[in-house]
Amino acid sequence: MAPNNTNGLDYTILIKFIDGQASPAETAEVAAWLEAAPGNRELYFQVKDILDQQRVSEVTREDTDERWLEIAAQLQQSTDVANPVRRLHWLKYAAVLLVLVIAGGIAAYVLTKQPGQPPLITLVSQKPTVQHIVLPDSTRIWVKPGSSLQYRNVKDGLRELWLNGSGYFEVVKNTATPFRIHTPGITVMVLGTSFTVNDDPLSANVIVNTGMVKASTHSQEMLVRPGQRVTVVNNQLQMDSVNAQLFAAWKDGDYKFENTSMEEIKELLQINYGYHVEILQPQKLRNTSISGRVLITDELSLCKSLAGMLEADVRKDSNRIIIQPK
């Protein structure tokens, strides 16, 4: 059973933070709690690891079909904050309820309509924070700040989506209905896997964490496996190998560095956060790499963590991260 608090922090706020659902005030509360005691950061990772292992088995299609009406009533009627465990149980279904309401047509925004096709409807609109949703089939999606997600038909169980921007997907396997994601630069088809899709002014790419996906653009197709990235370059697909976890870490700030080089750090900060990285006296850091696990909750923790791992001065200036050897 979960404790009523974790050294002064409401357990449900910690869960919301891990699930990408915390408000700015709650995020600040978690950040302060993490800095308050050395054991809090370790406890955070323990809780997150347990939830990562359990969430797929705990949230099933049967759950969403049978319980969403009950959960809706509970969420509306409850003001009880004395039992975080019961509130946590409801929180796991809150995102599912939202998607079911949208999919049922109660709330939708019609954006575009092409001749002979149903209109695209907004599932996730652009917001300045990471958004997390659970689809009716228990597929989990994190949508990057400034990105949006749309769908056209609900008859396919929301297994075909249109992404503008970047998102991380944990797709539940369904051999009868492949999951498709369309972006302006690339199309992805999967049966069941986890991966990141990026389509922004910098690049269009797919990075696979688990399983295998098929990426396509124009007339070219390519199978992408764990640890591989396929990028659209001059309308052609090019593949390389990356630490896939790092490029999905924007969703929860959980970074696991493994001999990560300075060039990889620069690329990571640019893709994940849109920062341009400037390295002063680069020759002193040319052979530097970092390893370890850190939690990045905001710009301050980002600079602080990098400074400690690189043993360098790190500061943010507008949209630049400046790194200078000590």
The conformational region for residue 116 under phi > 0 = left, psi -120 to 50 = alpha, else beta, is left
Provide the 3-class DSSP secondary structure of residue 44: helix
- The domain that contains 292 carries what CATH number? 3.55.50.30
Judge if 122 and 240 occupy the same domain. yes
Judge if 87 and 24 occupy the same domain. yes
CA–CA dist 62, 270 (Å, integer): 40
Question: pLDDT at position 55, please?
Answer: 52
CA-CA-CA-CA dihedral for 208, 209, 212, 218, to nearest 10: -10
Give me the DSSP letters along 195-215: EEEEESSS-EEEEEEES-EEE
Judge if 34 and 88 occupy the same domain. yes
The letter for the amino acid at 14 is L
Judge if 132 and 230 occupy the same domain. yes
- Token pair belonging to 317: 């200036």
The letter for the amino acid at 284 is K
Judge if 114 and 239 occupy the same domain. yes
Which of 245, 271, 304 is the C-terminal boundary of a domain? 245
Each residue's pLDDT expressed in tens, for the chain with a length of 326 residues: 333 344 567 767 777 777 777 777 788 788 778 777 777 777 777 667 656 655 544 444 444 344 434 433 433 343 333 343 334 343 443 333 334 333 333 233 333 444 566 788 899 999 999 999 988 888 999 999 999 999 987 766 789 999 999 999 999 988 888 999 999 999 999 988 999 999 887 789 999 999 999 999 988 999 999 999 999 998 899 999 999 999 999 999 999 999 999 999 999 999 999 899 999 999 999 889 999 999 998 888 999 999 999 999 999 998 999 999 98
Nearby residues of 246 by Cβ (< 8 Å), 6 or more positions away = 255, 256, 257, 260, 264, 268, 272
169-181 in b/e form (b: 16+ CB < 10 A) is: bbbbebeeebbeb
Question: pLDDT at position 291, please?
Answer: 93
**Residue 163, beta-bridge partner list:** 149
- How many other CB atoms are found less than 10 A from the CB of residue 97? 18
Handedness of CA 101, 103, 104, 108 (dihedral sign): positive
Residue numbers of the domain that contains 219: 108-245
Which of 219, 245, 271 is the C-terminal boundary of a domain? 245
Judge if 140 and 201 occupy the same domain. yes
| DSSP alpha helix (H) spans, the chain | 11-18, 24-36, 38-58, 61-77, 84-103, 244-248, 262-273, 299-310
Provide the number of structural domains found in the chain: 3
Q: Are 21 and 91 in contact (CB under 8 A)?
A: yes
| DSSP alpha helix (H) spans, 83-126 | 84-103
Which of 245, 266, 297 is the C-terminal boundary of a domain? 245
Question: pLDDT at position 112, please?
Answer: 41
Nearby residues of 322 by Cβ (< 8 Å), 6 or more positions away = 277, 278, 280, 314, 315, 316
